[in-house]
Amino acid sequence: MVTHEDVLKIANLAKLSVAPEELDGLTKDMNEIIAFADTVSAASADVSDFDNINGLSNVFREDVPVPSYRREDILKNAESSEDGYFLVRRRR
């Protein structure tokens, strides 16, 4: 069973702030999500290696450089930038 503490810990790791009144609802949701995922474990299957289900290996790329993107394009989605850097402003 997921507890309030678990939810707070996961929120903290993900840098999310959770208000006290949200805690009951989120805990309930998480328990339901985990219960839903458990139906997978209950299913029977012939495959045992769920870790590498596609069975592929050694898909490699040769070590040959390709020109990178233009910096304007790289910074296009940034909330803010300065002197060609991504800028993360101090939180107030």
Contacting positions for another protein (CB under 8 A) = 9, 12-15, 51-52, 54, 56-66, 68-69, 71, 74-75, 77, 82-90
Whole-number Cα distances in Å, 67 to 55, 60, 72: 32, 19, 14
Please, which residue, 21 or 62, has the CB nearer to another protein? Answer: 62
C-alpha dihedral sign at 72, 74, 80, 81: negative
Please, which residue, 48 or 58, has the CB nearer to another protein? Answer: 58
Token representation of residue 4 = 């309030």
Residue 74: how many other CB atoms lie within 10 Å: 13
> What's the min distance (Å) between Cβ of 84 and another protein?
5
> What's the min distance (Å) between Cβ of 25 and another protein?
23
Please, which residue, 24 or 76, has the CB nearer to another protein? Answer: 76
